[in-house]
Structure 1
Amino acid sequence: MRDNAFWIILQRLRTPLIVIVVTYAIAILGMVLIPGLDDKGNVYHLSFFDAFYFISYTASTIGFGETPYDFTYPQRLWVVVCIYLTAIGWFYTISAVISIISDKTLKKEMIKGRFVRQVQNFKSDFIIVLGYNRVNSEIIKRIRKANIDVVLVDHNADIINLFQLEESSMGVPVMVEDALLTSTLKDAGVNSPYCNAVISHFYKEEKNLRITILIRFLNPKVKVITRATLHDTIIAISDTDIAKVENPFEIFAKRFEIALTAPHILILENWIYKNADLADKASYLPEGRYIICGYGRLGKLIKEKLDKHGMDYIIIDENNVGTDEMIKNETFICANADDRDVLLKAGIESAVVLVAGTQNDIDNMSLFITAKKLNPDLYVISRVNTMKEISIFEKSDINWLFMIEKILINKTSLQISQPLKHSFLKRVLYKDEEWGTSLVNLLKAQLGDNPQLLHLTINEEKAFAIYHVLKANKPIGLNILLKSLANWQNYHKAIPLFLKRNGDEFLLPSNELLEIGDEILFACDAESREEIELIASNIYDLHYVQTGEEKRNWLLSKVISLL
């Protein structure tokens, strides 16, 4: 049954209801059978309705008196019996109702029923978030800020209670249940046509794999955004064809390589994520000897990038063992990296970069302190495993913090709330330094250090004027949106960064002919943003930038002609 709460109530109230019915039946039957006297002394019997009426107000302790005539002593004696009989029945029933109200199973089913109804009432796209933690907490805030509905599921009631104290919890259906169950995913709305994606960032990667497989069979149209760092798990999740796998170690390794070859690309990324503006100084990672502390998932990926670019390095780890080739080439030391003598042996005094990449945040901080004493000019990159200790790292002089949780927050929230920016960034990350430098300099020269980003979709809602021109099969170019409303022969400052059309993507598009459904990302300031929106939506402004003439209002012209 769909509404389990209703059937639980019926089941628990079955006996109390039977008790009430039986006590009332006995009382009413007795009142009907026992003879009384009317006002003339004649024998009479109460009708069933009169008996029911009398027992109803007597049993409920209201007491309107004897009706329709004064009772005889046998009737009054039976009334005494009825009073105690029905009172016992009501006491039993009321105690049963109180017991039902406090029943945990019923409460859980009622909450679940309300949750399911809330989800079913969604008539726009929503996201299911499985598990509430620091990462998902920040993701929910950003998604809700973009006016996208969210559904949250977590097995821990205390964690759900903490979430409901947050401002971002307003309007978010929540359910305390095991997210790994098919029934839970169905209740959360995975089969709804409005379910856009499921976010599963469990630390245990087998859970993320299970979620992905379940959703693959429940609704293959829903995409799953999940984290995975182990090779076999990444392959298994990717094979479902519905998952976007986020490996924070691979993401950082890619950024590490970009810092070696194209630092202006990192400036663009930080600007898009709003971590910094374009005024940040672009500087390559130093050239020289790199010391990598920790040869786990992060250490291995950084080694690959250093090998690719022919950089000098040495790896220190007391748990993981390097290959025979690494030991032969003296690029691996099996020892505790937080040992002063080991660091000296690794060449810390002449090294240029230290990567503190262990799984323990305190060990990474200790490494930083020790290494800086031995080499104050050292450039330090430190891994931060949990944002619990982020304040300590931020107060230090560490040059670059690799925060696993922040990477997941940025990437997940951007592709959910601002997918066009995410698509643009994916293309940008594979560009070279020359391209990045040119774009950063162009943006700074034309729009300043912190330009705004505008996402415009060519549809009737967002671009009414252009939509109807295209609907009439009249060609119109992208440059029309760059014209100035002050002088149609001039252009305002906005720069088109990206155009997405069905499966095609264009970086820095020129005067492309627009089509219905096009999505365009502009860099702009407040003034040019307003002009783009007016040209796209207002037929009079569009006519002006096309012809240089003010479009006349037909009704106004008619009134003027009559005058």
Structure 2
Amino acid sequence: MPNVVFLVLRRMRAPLITLILIYAISVFGLVVIPGVDNHGQPYRMDFFHAFYFVSYTATTIGFGEVPFAFTYTQRMWVVVCIYLSVIGWAYAIGTTFSILQDKSFQQAVQLARFASRVRRISEPFFLICGYGQTARLLCKVLDDQRMRFVVLELREDRVHDVTFADYRFDVPAYAGDAANPQLLTVAGITHPRCHGVLAITGNEEANLAVTISAHVLRPELLSVGRAKTRAVAENMASFGTNRVINMFDAVGAQFRRALHAPHTSRLWDTLSDFPGEPLPPLVKPPRGHWVIVGFGRFGHAVKEALDCEGATVMVIDLEDQTELPPEQYVQALGVDAASLRAAGIERAVGIVACHDHDAHNLSAIATARAIKPELFVVARQNLSNNGILFESFKPDVTVVRSEVMSHECLRTLTTPTLARFLGQIQSRSEVWSQALMREIEGLCEVHVPATWVVTLTAKNAGAVYALLARPQPRLELRHLMTNPQDHTRRLRALPLMLNRAGRDILLPPPETPLAFGDVILFAGTSRARGAQDIVLSQYPLLDYVRTGRDQPNSWLFRRLAAWRAARHPVEDEG
């Protein structure tokens, strides 16, 4: 990182030397030229008075002739000094303005400010490389959860968007190449409070460079990389990237879940969505013949999912698909009735419109519905700004690239325990998933629940108190779900999984006794999470949810309560 002070001094070298020479010549002339004092006696000005006079004269302030009135010779020399100093100062000030307007100097100042703001962060934060549609959604959710982040983005206009975004925190952002390891260091990748780095730029080579730098500079750091091709994804994984996200693989897996286990798919989508959003509907794609319009990476992923479920598929694409048998594709754009009919749209149960351009997808959907209105429609939305258009068409499933990516990133960053839970529910039955979904709906009604993790370690003051300082009555899971204002009421929180000694227990019963090292994944309302945090931070409330009795807070009343319990143990128990 360039030093701004030395950068300025280097550019100001010639103007400063010029000013120093002008001042030296002016002072030397005033000292050498003889003057006359108030009594008519000759005198010579000393260096201090000469420098003092030149200082206020060169800056055009003017306090008169000191210490005595000047002679004609001195005044002639002062006139020369005035013009020399004006020229010198004009040269210095002009150079200063040119430096301030210089693009490289402005970038150096911005980089210095950015580095200073990152160094001053005292809370845990994530380093986000890239600020496209995915990052905007992700940053909004992280900000709602009061988690800090730092942004690196190549385009300067997007950095300005970060500056003017309505975030709770002052977000450090800088326009630069995230593939530069030195810039990553300045952005905080080695900062002790940095908890993770996300490489989600539009350039997968830059994402690969970021994940490699994260592995080299901080191997223990949580890293998430976005890849478009299998080769880059495998390369990222080889460098220890914790989570490699391929949007098209994620879409294929999501579609496969919806085909194979719709209730499990809905549960997965609910727990992966942003808290507070409407609950996703139950999606049951029909089985039969499907038409895929646009056969890029998205289309390949969907076709693989349909093939796994034994569906028949016809592909429509402008490119010649040599990998497919001729009877399985139609070479066309897919927005006209003729190409759709040739693909068998009249006998199809569904259509997947997955061109790279939203206009083509909307046109294909409109034409297909005109031929067969009852089609099951899966639409790919490329730009978030076109959301209003897709809402008017009302597809059965709308896949928004930025939302898919942000959901995958958020699940990895905020609650890695949730990722393990979602991996385990895929082996559960549809009945089990449907029953759990009903419980979640009972907790949060029509909104996506919040998910959080409670870890009972020495860093948790409530755990130390309840498990060591006062272990009786024993702490059970149901106590963490008890309302601290009324022990007869339950918080809107549901324990999804308990991890103990490396073993995961799904949906643990409320009577489960808790122990040190337990990690509990909860789902519920944000208000329930806040109440639970209060219980774990205030010992009297922790005792209240365990015993159902209000505990004294002051030292005096605690002593009186202990004395009373010692004298009347039976009565106190009753």
TM-score between both structures, scaled by the size of structure 2: 0.87
- Deviations, residues 514-560 of structure 1 (Å, cap 9, x unaligned): 23454423344688667645543443343344445554555126579
Counterpart for residue 293 of structure 2: 293
Alpha-carbon distance, 1:185 to partner: 1.5
> Structure 2 vs 1, CA of residues 32 and 502 (structure 1 numbering), >3 Å: closer, same or farther?
farther
Deviations 1:151-190 (A, max 9, x none): 2222322332233222138511121222222222222122
Task: Summarize the Cα distance change of 1:529–1:167 in structure 2 as closer, same or farther, 3 Å threshold.
Answer: closer
- Equivalent in the alignment of 1:13: 12
State, as a whole percentage, how many aligned pairs show the same letter. 31
Q: CA deviation at 1:122?
A: 1.5
CA–CA distance in 1 between the matches of 2:115 and 2:191?
Answer: 11
Q: Distance in 1 between matches of 2:20 and 2:547?
A: 85
> Judging changes above 3 Å, is the alpha-carbon distance between structure 1 residues 294 and 155 closer, same or farther for their aligned structure 2 residues?
closer
Distance 1:11 1:344 in 2: 72
Q: Structure 1 stretch 488-497 or stretch 254-263: which is displaced more?
A: 488-497
CA distance in 2, matches of 1:239, 1:269: 28
- For residues 494 and 399 of structure 1, the distance between their equivalents in structure 2, rounded to whole angstroms, comes to 31
Residue 436 of structure 2 is aligned to residue 433 of structure 1: no
Partner of residue 556, structure 1: 557
Contact 1:278 1:440 in 2 (8 A): no
For residue 347 of structure 2, give the secondary structure of its aligned residue in structure 1.
Answer: coil
Contact 1:466 1:537 in 2 (8 A): no
CA contact (8 A) 2:456 2:519 kept: no
SS of 1:256's equivalent in the other structure is helix
Distance 1:301 1:307 in 2: 10
1:338 aligns with 2:339: no
SS in 2 for 1:358: coil
C-alpha spacing 1:37/1:185, structure 2 compared with 1 (3 Å): same
Q: Is the 8 A contact 1:143 1:416 kept in 2?
A: no
By how many angstroms is 1:484 displaced? 6.3
| Residue type at the aligned position of 2:212 | I
**Other structure's SS at 2:122 match:** coil
Counterpart contact for 1:258–1:266, Cα < 8 Å: yes
Moved more, 421-430 or 173-182: 421-430
Flag the 1:199–1:266 CA change in 2: closer, same or farther, 3 A: same
> Which whole-Å CA distance do the structure 2 matches of 1:230 and 1:477 have between them?
47
Deviates more, 1:153-162 or 1:232-241: 153-162
CA displacement, residues 22-78 of structure 1 (integer Å, 9 cap, x when unaligned): 112112112112222223332221111122122222222222222222222322222
Q: How does 1:142-291 map to 2 (within 5 A)?
A: 142-168=141-167, 171-272=170-271, 273-274=273-274, 282=282, 284-291=284-291
Aligned residue number for residue 82 of structure 2: 83
The equivalent of 1:406 in structure 2 is: 403
364, 367, 385: which is aligned to 1:367? 364
**Residue type at the aligned position of 2:65:** E
Q: Which residue in 2 is equivalent to 1:52? A: 51
Unaligned runs of 5+ in 2: 565-574
Verify the 8 A CA contact 1:23 1:85 in the aligned structure 2: yes
Partner of 2:543: 543
> Secondary structure of 2:164's partner?
coil
Q: 2: CA distance between counterparts of 1:527 and 1:48?
A: 75
Deviations 1:217-269 (A, max 9, x none): 23323333222231212111111112411112221222212222322223323
How far residue 372 of structure 1 moved from its aligned partner, in angstroms, is 1.0
- Paired residue for 1:395, among 383, 392, 396? 392
Preserved CA contact (<8 Å) 1:28 1:51: yes
Is the contact made by 2:223 and 2:242 (CA closer than 8 Å) also made in structure 1?
A: yes
Please list the CA deviations of residues 326-359 of structure 1 after superposition, one character each: whole Å capped at 9, or x if unmatched: 44xx444445433423332332222211112233
Task: Please name the residue that 1:321 is paired with.
Answer: 321
The CA distance in 1 between the partners of 2:55 and 2:277, in whole Å, is 77
Further displaced range: 238-247 or 518-527: 518-527
Contact conserved, 1:443 with 1:449, CA < 8 A, in 2?
A: no
Once the 2 structures are TM-superposed, how far is the Cα of residue 119 of structure 1 from its aligned partner?
Answer: 1.0
Whole-Å separation in 2 of the counterparts to 1:275 and 1:533: 18
Pairwise mapping of residues 26-175 of structure 1 onto structure 2 (< 5 A)?
A: 26-168=25-167, 171-175=170-174
| Alpha-carbon separation, structure 1, partners of 2:126 and 2:174 | 14
The RMSD of aligned alpha carbons is 3.2
Amino acid at match of 1:84: Y
Q: Secondary structure at the match of 1:349?
A: helix
2: CA distance, partners of 1:379 / 1:190: 46
Q: 1:36 to 1:545 in 2, by over 3 A?
A: closer
Sort the Cα spacing of 1:386 and 1:453 in 2 relative to 1 into closer, same or farther, 3 A: closer
Q: Which amino acid aligns with 2:14?
A: T
Distance 2:518 2:380 in 1: 40
Higher alpha-carbon deviation: 214-223 or 395-404: 214-223
- Change beyond 3 A, Cα 1:172–1:373: same
Separation in 2 of the partners of 1:65 and 1:27? 16
Q: Secondary structure at the match of 1:196?
A: strand
Tell me if structure 1 keeps the 8 A contact 2:275–2:448.
no
AA aligned to 2:104 is T
Cα 1:30–1:159 shift into 2, 3 Å: same
- Check the 8 A contact 1:278/1:444 in 2, yes or no: no
- The equivalent residue for 1:24 is 23
Q: Which residue of 2 aligns with 1:457?
A: 454
Distance 1:109 1:517, change over 3 A: farther
Change (3 A) 1:462 1:378: farther
Amino acid at match of 1:366: S
2:435 alignment partner AA: S
Residue in 2 that maps onto 1:470: 467
Using the alignment, how far apart are the partners of 2:155 and 2:281 within structure 1? 45
Match for 2:233: what amino acid?
A: I
Letter in 1 for 2:476: G
**Secondary structure of 1:168's match?**
coil
1:140–1:441 CA distance, 2 compared to 1 (3 A): closer
Letter aligned with residue 497 of structure 1: L
1:38 and 1:366 map into 2 onto residues whose CA distance is 98
CA contact (8 A) 1:154 1:179 kept: yes
In the alignment of these two chains, the number of paired residues is 558
SS at match of 1:382: strand
Question: How far is the alpha carbon of 1:95 from its aligned partner?
Answer: 2.2
Instruction: Check conservation: 1:222, 1:242, Cα contact below 8 A.
Output: no
Q: State whether residues 456 and 462 of structure 1, in contact with CA within 8 Å, keep that contact through their aligned partners in structure 2.
A: no
One-letter amino acid of the counterpart of residue 103, structure 2: K
For residues 331 and 73 of structure 1, what CA distance do their matches in structure 2 show?
A: 105
1:28–1:52: 8 Å Cα contact kept in structure 2?
yes
User: In structure 2, what residue type is equivalent to 1:246?
Assistant: I
Measured after TM superposition, the shift of residue 420 of structure 1 is 4.3
* Contact 1:452/1:525 (8 A) holds in 2: yes
Work out whether 1:349 is the aligned partner of 2:360.
Answer: no
Letter aligned with residue 389 of structure 1: N
Which AA in structure 2 matches 1:396?
F
